[in-house]
Amino acid sequence: MRTLNLLLASAAMTVTLGTVAAAQEAATVAFLMPDQASTRYEEHDYPGFKAEMTKLCPDCTVIYQNANADVALQQQQFNSVIAQGAKVIVLDPVDSAAAAALVEIAQSQEVKVIAYDRPIPDKPANYYVSFDNEAIGRSIAQSLVDHLKAEGVPDGAGVLQINGSPTDAAAGLIRDGIDSALDASSYKTLAEFDTPDWAPPKAQEWAAGQITRFGDQIKGVVAANDGTAGGAIAAFKAAGVNPVPPVTGNDATIAALQLVIAGEQYNTISKPSEIVAAAAANAAVKLLKGETPEATHTLYETPSQLFVPAVVTAKNIKAEVFDKGINKPEEVCTGEYVEACRKLGIIN
C-alpha cells in the first residue's frame, strides 16, 4: 500500500509539473504602452517585443494595448489583461506614481510586472528594462554645450530647457541628466518647462512664448525628446527665426532624423527600441519559467537592465543609424531630404 501511495503521489507530481510547463509554454503576456504622442511604440517597441516573444515562446499569447496618455484607461487595460489570464505584464506607465497601485494589484495575484522604459519608483516591480534615461539627458545636453562652445557662443549665453511629462519618472531622470550637464556648463537656463503628456503642441506653445520673451538671447534648446524638439523648431520657424538655434532631441524618430539631416535639429539619441523590447521579452519568458532575469543595475529597489544610448548628429548619422541598419535610407531620404542625404553620403 505504501508503494502504491508513493507511485500515485509521483504520478500526481508528474501531472502537476507537466501542467505548469504547459501553462508556461502557452502563457499570456501583456505589453501595455503609455501614449501615441510618440510613434515609437507602434513602429518599434511592440513589433520588437512581439518578434522576440514569437521566437522564445511561440505558443504564448501577446496582448498589446496603448493607453493614449489616459491614466484611467491604462488602469482598465491593466485589469482587463489580468482578467484575460496574463501571467506577466510589461508596463510603460502613463503615470509612474499611479502605476505603483497597479504593481501591487498584480503581485497580490501572483502576476509579474516588468516596468518598461519608465520606472515605477513607489513600488518595486519584478524587473525594469530601459535605456539609461539619466545618461540620455546628460548626453544630449553635453552635446549641445560642446557644440555651442565650438561655435564660439560666449559664456553666460542662454538656453531653454524643455522636459518631458511631469507624471513620467523617466522624464524626471532625463531632466536630472540635463540639469547635471547644464549646471556644470558656462551657459544659463533662461526658462524651463515640463511638457504635459510629452505633447509636441504644448511644447510648441510654450516655446513660442519664450521666443517672444527672450528673442535672440536664446542660443540653444535642450528638448527631452524628438516630439518636444519638433514643437520647439516649429515655434522658431513660425516666429521667422532663421537660422533656428540648435535643438536637441531623443528617440531618433524618422521625422527627427530628417530634421537632423536637414540641419534643423542638432541631435537626437539612437536607442533602437527593439533592443529594449527584446530584453523585456527575454525577461518575461524567464519570469514565466520561474527564473530570475539577470540585472545590471538596481533602480528604485528594482533589479534593472539599462542600455547605453548613442548621441546622433549630422556628423555621425550615417555611421550610427544607416551603416548599422537601424533605419534604411529609403525610409528617411525622401522628398525634400534627398539632396541633404546626398551631401552627408547617406545615398549616392
Q: Which residues pair with 116 in a beta bridge?
A: 129
129 has a pLDDT exceeding 60: yes
225 has a pLDDT exceeding 50: yes
**How large a percentage of the chain has pLDDT more than 90?**
89
Q: Which of 262, 230, 248, 247 is nearest to 339 (CA)?
A: 262
Residue-wise pLDDT for 135-193, tens only, equals 999 999 999 999 999 999 999 999 999 999 999 999 999 999 999 999 999 999 999 99
Q: In sequence order, what are the residues at sequence separation of 6 or more whose Cβ sits closer than 8 angstroms to the Cβ of residue 162?
A: 192, 193, 195, 203, 206, 207, 221, 222, 223, 224, 228, 229, 231, 232
Going by pLDDT thresholds of 50, 70 and 90, the confidence category of residue 43 is confident
74 has a pLDDT exceeding 80: yes
Top-confidence residue, 11 or 345: 345
What average pLDDT does this structure show over 263-276? 95
pLDDT for 185 = 98
Q: E strands of 3-157, at which residues?
A: 28-33, 61-66, 86-91, 112-116, 127-131
pLDDT for 10 = 41
Q: Are strands 297-299 and 310-313 parallel, antiparallel or unpaired?
A: unpaired
∠ CA 146-176-49, rounded to 5°: 95
In this structure, the chain runs to a length of 348
pLDDT for 2 = 41
Residue 332 φ/ψ, nearest 5 degrees: -110, -40
pLDDT for 24 = 56
CA 251 to CA 228: how far, in whole Å? 11
What average pLDDT does this structure show over 319-337? 96
pLDDT for 251 = 92
**How large a percentage of the chain has pLDDT more than 70?**
93
Mean pLDDT of the residues in the chain: 92
Going by pLDDT thresholds of 50, 70 and 90, the confidence category of residue 25 is low
**Which class for 332: exposed (0-12), middle (13-18), buried (19 or more C-beta within 10 A)?**
buried
22 has a pLDDT exceeding 60: no
336 has a pLDDT exceeding 70: yes
Residue-wise pLDDT for 281-314, tens only, equals 999 999 999 999 999 999 999 999 999 889 999 9
Q: Tell me, what DSSP letter sits at residue 319?
A: I
CB 63 within 8 A of CB 31: yes
